[in-house]
Structure 1
Amino acid sequence: MGADLDVVYAREEPPDRWEAAVFLAGPTPRSPEVASWRPAAVAALRERWRGHGRLVVFVPEHRHGVHDDYVGQVEWEERCLHLSDEVIFYVPRDLATMPAFTTNVEWGMWHDSGRAVFGAPPQAPKNRYLLHYAAKSGVPTAGDLPATVAAALDRIGAGASRTGGEREIPLLLWREESLQRWYAGQRAAGNALLGARVVFRFGNHWGLHVRMHVAAERRVKDNEVVFGRPDVSAVVLHRPGETLDETEVVLVREFRSPCVNGFVHELPGGSGAGAPSEVALGEVEEETGLVLDAARLRAHGTRQVNATMSGHRAHLFSARITGGELARLRSSGPHGLAADGERTYVEIAAFGRIRRERLVDWSCLGMIAEVLLEVR
């Protein structure tokens, strides 16, 4: 499919499929005698778009210059801002003809969305505050319109084909492996994404308010947020005792803000690049100081950790450790990756104590029980 560009003006209905979408945010002239900057932006996008497929450009100006429904205009802009992969803020502010008061509000709402680029001529007044927050939020900036457009298209790349409710997932999230894995599972079950709204994104963690058609029940469910993050690998390091309750398990204690008492006991584990088993070995060394040979690692399968809230999974492994290793672990100091603010302390407890004293949460307890029941 060749490159194509569709312009959608105010109050017009967006197409049902595209590879990328941008919104041209910024001041609109108050008088027909003042030329809009947006036609030049559309021309620059048309010239520079190198993706294979459709680029949709949302222009919040009426095709025929008629603005007759303020509330409808605002609602259309809100909808199309959320549909956009990139929001191009270009602010050639003129206090007499284009004061950009509404633009200031929109910038405040979108500057830290991960989807904004900002441009303004050097002589445009009253943009210092906006530029300050562009720098603080890592927003690409430029001093002219062509460079601003180029910054947006650089992040879009070739785009990605989306249709229906998929259009509401912006490229910055669409490209996340964890999102694609969750969505592939939904499609395999016959379910359809009717709508979505990004509620937060922090690094590779995200939250998406979704509207799903549930095929098996022939109904629509729209009252849940799906949380996502990369999969984790967790390892049960154990030393068998005479009974199941006397089997000793290596835990790590670490401060975690969501934990109601601050510190949580959990299994060595985490996420990272590489195969799950490689991640498992690396996390054991990082959080306990124990270096394991890959041949000692036993796989126990993969499951979601909290299927009512998060789409991520845990890859479960175990290793039987020696008495000497257990003794060294008992006397080891704090570990963790300091650059990530991580500090872990090794604590060893018998399975019976773990259960009685409720040292771990339900998901961790289940992983420990799965391993110990399987290896005995």
Structure 2
Amino acid sequence: MIEAVQIAYAKEEFPTQFARSLFLAGPTPRSADVQSWRPEALRILINLGYDGVVFVPESSTGYKASYADQVDWEHKALEMSDCILFWIPRNLQVFPGLTTNVEFGLWAHSGKIVLGAPPEAPKMDYLRSLAGKLGIPQAENLEDALKHSLQFVGEGAFRSQGECQVPLHIWKTRSFQAWYKAQVEAGNRLDGARVEWVFRVGPGKSIVYCWALHVSVYVAGENRNKTNELVISRPDISTLVMYKPEANPLQTKIVLIREFRSPAATSDGFIWEVPGGSSFTLADPLEIAVEEAHEETGLRIDAARLNYVGTRQLAGTFSAHKAHVFSVSITDEELAWLSGQVGIPHGNPATHPSGERTYVEIRTMEEILAENLLDWSTIGMVCQALQPAGTPDRM
């Protein structure tokens, strides 16, 4: 493990293992008579006890690489960094920071940058305004900016080889770890990754909800690298198939949720599915299933009544996330109560950022198969849940 700060200067080899990494972005001196701000940043980091990697886009010897080589190194280092500190002591005569403006725009939506600039630095209003809208931490002196950066990376997480190309804010998500665990257990190896985009939610956009990585995976069973695909993922969901059984399986009644979701391509523009969802605060799939069913239908089911159906991906070539499926046989009284909820909106209140508004619908299995409103994944969940106990995924 790395125990002291490790500095990677421009055009030097990239580290093959680290727990946390920081890129010092900002104006670079264009002549020898202008002093760089980065040596002072390194002194502050050492005094603060930082023991990770620091990418410094300046030569350690004064030698200047070709412009193309310099840009290529910077792009790779920026992608590898867990946090990018933009310190912009702009001076229009010696530190104009024109390239810095472009780089800031490129990384503004990455979810891994900090912005710092002295109060008197000119031409900073637009960058500060954008940082405010995107929840980017800001500071007016170099030490505070570095402290924000260290707070962002925290204790880090040890990575090696291709893992180093997965930045910390994605690496630490449950969704990434679940995908990566499956690959490792299959004998495969991550040889490289590049973040294509990240979608953040919550206060200050502090929660990584969905991400996309362009990966290079060594496929052990085929002795080759797969390099032309994205891995997209988000938090797993838990769902609850609530049903009232009948002698004729096609007449079994299923409790569904109808909700407007923007990606819907159904005949009525709504998504029809069984109650379910994800949580940033709960970790137990069973508990999530109970809470989601209550939120979306108004009916609270005792967790002890639920049967575990199974866990599978929903659309394996599109997203790595999975559905943890549970089922419960409801009573006549519960069915009658739920039938009385048809047309009544449930879910989070309209003022909630998610804008969730769900409606209870009751359909027989025969109607579900005929109406073409449920997607294949949901139909699969329902069919699996209705299988007799003892069949695969119902043990």
TM-score normalised per structure 2 = 0.91
Which residue number in structure 1 is paired with residue 49 of structure 2?
Answer: 49
Q: CA deviation at 1:65?
A: 2.1
Distance 1:277 1:29 in 2: 57
> Counterparts of 1:217-366 in structure 2 under 5 Å?
217-261=222-266, 262-272=269-279, 273-332=282-341, 333-338=344-349, 339=352, 340-366=354-380
The answer to whether the 8 A contact 1:49-1:153 is kept is: no
Number of residue pairs matched by the alignment: 373
Query: Unmatched 5+ residue regions in structure 1?
Result: none
Does residue 98 of structure 2 align to residue 101 of structure 1?
yes
Deviations 1:185-232 (A, max 9, x none): 111111000101112222322111111000010010011111112221
> Counterparts of 1:1-376 in structure 2 under 5 Å?
3-51=3-51, 55-203=52-200, 204-261=209-266, 262-272=269-279, 273-332=282-341, 333-338=344-349, 339=352, 340-374=354-388
* Counterpart amino acid of residue 219 in structure 1: R
Distance 1:85 1:151 in 2: 13
Which residue number in structure 1 is paired with residue 204 of structure 2?
Answer: none
The answer to whether the 8 A contact 1:3-1:50 is kept is: no
Q: CA deviation at 1:373?
A: 2.3
Distance 1:66 1:249 in 2: 71
Q: CA deviation at 1:311?
A: 1.7
Classify the secondary structure of the residue corresponding to 1:342. Answer: coil
* Counterpart amino acid of residue 167 in structure 1: C
Q: CA deviation at 1:6?
A: 1.6
The answer to whether the 8 A contact 1:207-1:228 is kept is: yes
Distance 2:229 2:6 in 1: 33
* Counterpart amino acid of residue 337 in structure 1: N
Classify the secondary structure of the residue corresponding to 2:11. Answer: coil
Deviations 1:25-83 (A, max 9, x none): 100112110100011111111221345xxx11111112222324111111111111000
Distance 2:93 2:347 in 1: 57
The answer to whether the 8 A contact 2:193-2:213 is kept is: yes
Q: CA deviation at 1:320?
A: 1.1
* Counterpart amino acid of residue 86 in structure 1: C
Classify the secondary structure of the residue corresponding to 1:209. Answer: strand
TM-score normalised per structure 1 = 0.96
Distance 2:229 2:217 in 1: 9
Structure 1 161/375 Cα, relative in aligned 2: closer, same or farther at 3 Å? closer
Q: CA deviation at 1:2?
A: 6.5
- Calculate percent identity across the aligned residue pairs: 47
Distance 1:22 1:285 in 2: 44
The answer to whether the 8 A contact 1:237-1:320 is kept is: yes
Deviations 1:78-104 (A, max 9, x none): 111000001010001111111100000
Could you say what the CA RMSD is over the residues aligned between the two structures, in angstroms? 1.5
Classify the secondary structure of the residue corresponding to 2:380. Answer: helix
* Counterpart amino acid of residue 352 in structure 1: E
* Counterpart amino acid of residue 360 in structure 2: V
Distance 1:218 1:149 in 2: 43
Distance 2:19 2:305 in 1: 46
* Counterpart amino acid of residue 361 in structure 2: E
The answer to whether the 8 A contact 2:257-2:359 is kept is: yes
Q: CA deviation at 1:309?
A: 2.2
* Counterpart amino acid of residue 223 in structure 1: N
* Counterpart amino acid of residue 133 in structure 2: K
The answer to whether the 8 A contact 2:2-2:18 is kept is: no
Classify the secondary structure of the residue corresponding to 2:287. Answer: helix
Q: CA deviation at 1:22?
A: 1.0
The answer to whether the 8 A contact 1:118-1:141 is kept is: yes
Q: Which segments of structure 1 move beyond 3 Å, counting only runs of 4 or more?
A: none
Q: CA deviation at 1:366?
A: 0.6
Distance 1:226 1:252 in 2: 29
